[in-house]
Structure formats: structure tokens, C-alpha cells
Chain A
């Protein structure tokens, strides 16, 4: 990643508008509702994260893989391709780009294990060769634009240098961070950074959503906001630093919110409990924080709104919890209308069948009629 986002392929070619995004999904939307498609997207992002976890891969690598996956499906239809091959291939390429290379053989093995053990999939498993072959096609469909900018870095910059190394090591499941590394000193002046103290900082990435949203509290909803955004379309629509700022803003808002609710909340999040003892500056006021940054309030508000919508949508469904959680949820929420992993898997089969029928009836898929690169939008 080069330092200058404004000259990057990410900015110049891969930030698109909603209309373009909608067009890229027209074919899939013939066979699934918008909500189902959104759930399918969450399902696959979770799947990549889970595969990453199995392989011991860090959050940033997983994030890159998820972005690859989403970009691939700007140019392709889920109903016409095999996402079960695309998933490991995205991760394979991401490990090379993020300098933690893995051979495709162990990736293929782990993918198979995951498909069988975690998803009970009965498909022809992608063998190593098919991943290696798929790499070629994936690279092409990505236009060889392989360097992806993530919101993590914005967090690092805004939250100061010492926090930076922590954030870079921040992983999907909050595993231990990395030691600070040489080279950090090349950026982040430390000027104008947010002074989160230790506890609030750890909370900055994970929020006790139960306090905020109409989401069942029976489940542990502590999540990393930024990782959560990867389940939606944020990385295709918004500049990474805006997503990062929205995540911080949301944290501040929710933090304040949970503080007001101390008395009501039975089990405050761990972060909160520590922070009430810490003799520190109060966290920055969200409004002051936003005002201090030269960004569009409307865009931030919109991203925040969409993150909350994503949570709400996610909360309606049962996709992608860790195995045990999933089972727990399924029993506790039986009778719910939402889709489980199994439902998604079945839905995918239906979509492929439906597309096949269409094809036999001579219905062309639109994406392939006019294979044009996504139109980038510049202004934000």
C-alpha cells in the first residue's frame, strides 16, 4: 500500500456508487431478495474470516481477502460462479499481498476441513489445483489491483502512535497484538490524535451492542465495528478513513450511551468496567471529535446509520456465528424467520438452479453482456 490513498487504485477504480453496485447485482437479484443477498454476503465474509482463523491469519489479511471477494462479485454473479472456490482463492492471494504467504495446498486442506466440519457442505471440494487456477481469473477480475486500504490505519492515525501497533495486530477475534515495528515512526506525527486511555481504547474496537440496538441480549454481541463493516458493502462505497472515523464516532456515542445506562445494564462490557476506575481524561465528545476532522458530517452519519442497519439485519438472521453459538441461537430462536448458514447454503443451490433454467430459456446474464469495469465515483 502506498501512502497516498488519493493516487491508489483503490480510490481511483474501486470506490463505486450505489447505482453501479445495484447494477452489478441485477442478475443475482432475479433469484434472491436484496435482504437474502445481503445475508449471503455476510455469510461469505464470515466464511473467509473463519477460514482465516483456522489458518491463523491476521485480521488485516482477512480484511483484504474479503475486499477481494466483494470486488470479484462486482464483476460476477454469485448465481453463475462457485463462491466456494473464490473464498479460498481470495485468502490465498491476500496472504501473498500482505506478506504472510501461505501455499495453496494447506489452504485447500483447511478449506475442505472447514466446509465439512463447520458447514456440513456436500460439494466437490476445491482441490489445490482449482485454487491455483482460480487465482489467475481472480487476479484478472481484480484488474491486478491488489493493494487494499483498510480503515484500521485511520484508527491507528487518529488514536495515536502507541495505539497504532496494537490496532494493526488487532484481529478478528481480538487476539494479542503485535509488537511495535520499525517504520511506524515514518508516519503519524502524534499531532491531533485522540487520547483514548487503555480501557476505552480496547472498547473502541468492540462495543456492547446489547445496550444500543434492538438485538437479543442472550448473545455476546461484542464485535469489532470495523470487522463488522466488512460484512456489508462499505469497502466498495466509502473511503476507508471515513469508515474508520464512523467506527470511532459510533464507539464514542455508544460509550457515552452505555455510561448513562450503568445502573440499568446488568453486565456492562468489560471495557466499561475498567474505564470507570481509570483516572483519565473523559473520552472526547463525539461532536467535537467530528468537528476536529475535515470530513463530511453527512457521510459519516450515513455510514453510521448503515452500520446500525447492518447490525439490525444481521441480528434478524442466524448466519455465521461460531459453531456453538450458532446452535445456541438456533434453539433459542427457533421459529425465527431469519436465515441460518444452512438456509444460505440451500439458497445458493436454488439460485444456481434458477440461473441454469434461465440460461436454458435463453435469458442472458446482464453482467456478461456488457463487461465494463465498475465506474468509480470520486466525490465523497
Chain B
């Protein structure tokens, strides 16, 4: 166990030290832009925070979107998350997010979980998103 990595993880809860992606790009390689994540933050505050919490912390009843969230979604194509948001969220009005808004929200959630921004925007294209790995933290490198 890399103790420094562990310390970072515990301090920030955010260490996403890249596990090498099995296929194509991974979310540690900068797959969204800061502008997208900022836009996602605005949408999140208006349409999601009331249930998932201003800090994405969740409640006993509504899942948080950091921490345990990574265990639920990592190791899988990012397209899964994109598709789920598009059909199921916001829970009180599912199916009302545009593909662009959904992409911005994915970018915002990635940033909140420690994935770095890059220079190329995330594109709302299901096939492309299916080739990007949602990478989990790896403490044991």
C-alpha cells in the first residue's frame, strides 16, 4: 500500500490515481473541459441538489454522488452513467435532460470525484462514451 496515496485519499476523499484503462481512454486522462463541468454545476444546483445535496453527499435515502458512488459506477463505460442520467434523472422528471446537459452533469460528477479536466470536451455521443472507462481510485500502486 502506498501510504502517501492513502493519505491523499483520506484527506481529500478524491484520489483517483489512475488504474490503467483496459480499453481506450479513461476518465483520468482529461475527458471533459472545465467549462462543461462549470455548466454541469449550474444545472446540478438547480435540478439535482435538492435531493442529492449541495455537496453531492446524499442522505440515508438518496444515494450520494461521491465516495461510494465511485464503487457503484467505476470499472464500467462512462456511457452507462450517461444513459442512466438521461433516462432516470432527475427522478421527479426523468427523460427531460438534453444530451448536452447530461454531458455537462457527467463532467461535473467526474470533477467532484477527482478526475482531471482536459482540453477536449466530452461529446454526447453514446458510442464514444461507451469507449471511455470510468476509472476508480487505485491506492495500491
Partners in one complex: no
Q: Measuring CB to CB, which residues of chain A are less than 8 angstroms from any residue of chain B?
A: none
Q: Measuring CB to CB, which residues of chain B are less than 8 angstroms from any residue of chain A?
A: none
